[in-house]
Structures are given as structure tokens and as C-alpha cells.
Amino acid sequence: MRNDELLALDRAHVWHPYGPMPGRTEPLVVASASGVRLRLAEPAEGHDELIDGMSSWWSAVHGYNHPVLNEAARGQLGRMSHVMFGGLTHEPAVRLAARLVEITPEPLRHVFLSDSGSVAVEVAAKMCLQYWRSLGRPGKRRLLTWRGGYHGDTWQPMSVCDPEGGMHRLWSGVLQQQLFVDEPPAAYEESYAELLRATVARHADELAAVIVEPVVQGAGGMRFHDPGYLRVLREACDAHGVLLVFDEIATGFGRTGTLFAADQAGVSPDVMCLGKALTGGYLSMAATLCTSAVADGISRGEVPVLAHGPTFMGNPLAAAIACASIDLLLSRDWALEVKRIEGGLREGLAGAGSIPGVRDVRVLGAIGVVQLDHEIDMAAATRAAVREGVWLRPFRDLVYTMPPYVTEDADLARICAAVRAAAAAG
Ligand SMILES: *Cc1c(COP(=O)(O)O)cnc(C)c1O
């Protein structure tokens, strides 16, 4: 298809994330991707390929078109790409579940596989509410979270996304009323810890669970906080009979410097959501893990089953690639790679603080963030990055990058230059 034809059809018929219909901005057409490079169908700002600074929204941690993941996909394709999971099972899903239990915090023992992060959060909420219902406490059906979070775009996750920011304000009054405390401060403050404790205590009778993104709040604002707050939440939840859910869909698989962000606090949740990097960015798959206590509670209820079962649950192709991606990650010194990227981002973004309009620069693990003091001009900022030969997707007041772990130092330096250029242009 010719590029202009493709773009005309795209504009006329195809929704893009958070986009209007018809589209108002022209997306770049990607013909293929390999390593950390996206190859464009037509050159943009003089570049026919771009260095990927986004890992396709946290997911492509090994880069694109990886021979090991390709081989896993081909091998599984030759056997079957899908069979239903009701009444049937297969090695890829079983191996993946066992592997996830092995690498996540100890008490997590049971795995519900689904197709996307939002669904994994839906399942987590259903698990928690059903747990209390089964125990004869149906009044415990609200969720507590802190502001500034992001948990997905379906209804239940939306209800715990930041209530002010982003798209979800549109739905206030329609969404289920959850309980919010202020955004967590970056550093540990005893007064905030006390607020968490007091809120859990005061609302324990109506709370099914506390749900948070541990250590890094992603799409809600790219904010970082002291892991100590997670210990406070764990203690408060234990003391008052409330379940604790960690949404590690963005932070999982090494992004923050530990395999899971929960590891930085040394606490484990009752329920954990994984997604994004689970398949190394190849296919859509997510997982909700829970403890035996949660599973047993559900099993003791009047309806002793978890009534959820996506058509593509446990998809063998995605599961086989996920297994290969996890093996690949753990076979490399991923912690050293993330440390190296953290160092490169610190060095490369150090100067960004003096760019006019920049309010804050922060780096954690393989995540680099430049926050402006104003809403960004997305088109101008994106164009500035593309001019540097780099793909970035700034939003709100943020220019940020979470590159694939395999990004080499020279490419990382170019990504940092692009972040600075985008911040200056936006
Ligand atoms: C992306 C994300 C989700 C939603 O995942 P999708 O696969 O886009 O549905 C949920 N929680 C967090 C923390 C995320 O970053």
C-alpha cells in the first residue's frame, strides 16, 4: 500500500490511543523494527529509522525482532497458536504460570492469565471483592489508592486512576466511587505514612483492598516514591484485614532496577498484576497472581469459582514467547544492564534541569523523566525528538524515556539528546 493511501485510510477509519476520530495528527508509518530501531516506511525529518526510546510503552525490553523470541514464536506456531483454556491445558501456559510463581514474591502461588493489563486489574479487583463476599463480608467492596496512579482504561481500573488528571475526569459521577489519598511524596515522610495508616484503619469495614503501583507511578504522571510506603501499607492492611494489590504491569521485569518493584520494599502483596514486558513486547498477555489465602477464601464461598474466563486465556503463542522472554531476561545480567542505562540517563539528562520551562528531572532504573512546568506541545516535542532520530511519546507535562535494556551507550546518548530537544521544543 502506498504511504499516502495508508494514511488516508488510517485517518478515516482507525482509532489510535486517546485519539479523536478522524485523527488530527499524522502518525509515522513503521515498516519493520529490529533491535532498538524502528524502520519507517518514509523518512521523517531526514531519518529512515528511529531509535526507540519507549520500548513500545514499557514492553519491548529486549528490543524488536529478537532471534530468541522469534524462534519461540515459530516453534509454538508449528504446534498451535491457540486452543481454548476451558477443560484443556497446555505446556506453554503451565510453564509460564510455574515460572511466574517461582520469580515473584514467595506467597504468590496462583496465576490467572488474561489478555491485557486492564483485564488483569479487573481480575485483581474481582478476586478481592469476591474474597470478602465469600467470607461473608460483602460490605468490603471499595478500593483505596493514592492519587496520581494509572491502572488501565476499562471501568474498574479507571475508577482507581488519578481522579483529576488524564482522561478519566470525564467519567466522574459514572465511575464507582473509590477512596483516594494524596499522591505519595517522593521521600519518606512520617506524616504521609500516618495518613495511609489512618485511612486504612478508618475505612477497613468498607475496604476490600488497597491497590497501588509500587515505587513508580507510570502513565499517571511518572512519579517515584520511597519504597517504605509499601511496608506501611502492608502493615496497615494486615492490621485491619484489607487485601493489598500491587500493579506491577509497568514496573515488572526489571524496569526499576529490581526484578519487581515490590522487591525494593521487601514486602509481598496478596495480589499482583503483571503485563506489558511479560511477552517482551511481542503479544498481548497479562497475569494476575494471588496467595493461597485469597484463592482459599474464594473457594469457600457460596459461588466457589472465580467467574472470569477470557476467550484467549492462556494463549499458547503468547505464553511460549513469555517463557522465552523471561528465560532470556534472567540469562543476561539484566540488573547490570538496567544499572548501566540508569547511569547513562543520569549523565545524559543532567543538563536538562537548566532548560527553560523544566521543573524536574528524575531517573530511576531504566526510566528517565523530564517534567515541564507547562502542558507540552506534543507535536512540536515529538518532531524535535524525531529530528534527533529518536522515537519518544511525550504527554501532559512530561518528556520521558524507558528504552529497551539492550540499548547501547551511543544510542542512549542520542535518546538523552532527543529528550532534551523535546523538552526545549515542547
Ligand atoms: C499499562 C498499564 C495498565 C493497563 O495495561 P493495558 O495492557 O494497557 O490494558 C495497567 N496498569 C499499569 C500500571 C499500566 O502501566
Could you tell which of 58, 276, 284 is best to mutate to test the pocket of ligand 1, judged by most ligand atoms within 8 Å of the CB? 276
| Residues assigned a catalytic role | 18, 150, 247, 276
Name the closest-CA residue to atom 6, ligand 1.
117
Query: Apex CA 280: angle with CA 277 and CA 282, to 5°?
Result: 115
Q: Hey, what's the cell of 403? A: 528504552
CB 295 within 8 A of CB 110: yes
Please provide residue 179's backbone torsions phi and psi, each rounded to the nearest 5 degrees: -105, 130
C-alpha closest to that of 275 among 244, 292, 310, 251: 251
Q: Hey, what's the cell of 84? A: 481454548
- Give me the pLDDT at residue 339, please: 98
- Give me the pLDDT at residue 316, please: 98
**3-class state of residue 137 by DSSP:** coil
Host H or E run for residue 9 = helix 3-13
Strands 47-52 and 390-391: parallel
What is the 33 CA–ligand 1 centroid distance (Å)?
23
In 219-302, where does DSSP find H-type helix? Answer: 228-240, 292-299
- Give me the pLDDT at residue 166, please: 55
Report residues whose beta carbon is within 6 angstroms of any ligand 1 atom.
116-118, 121, 150-152, 213, 218-219, 247, 249-250, 275-276
CB proximity list for 10: less than 8 A, separation 6 or greater = 23, 27
CB 308 within 8 A of CB 144: no
- Give me the pLDDT at residue 167, please: 64
**3-class state of residue 243 by DSSP:** strand
Q: Hey, what's the cell of 422? A: 523535546
Condensed to tens digits (0 to 9), the pLDDT of residues 347-386 reads 999 999 999 999 999 999 999 999 999 999 999 999 999 9
pTM flag (> 0.85): yes
- Give me the pLDDT at residue 150, please: 96
Residues with pLDDT less than 50, the chain: none
Q: Which atom of ligand 1 is nearest to the CA of 284?
A: 7
Burial class (CB in 10 A: 0-12, 13-18, 19+), 338: buried
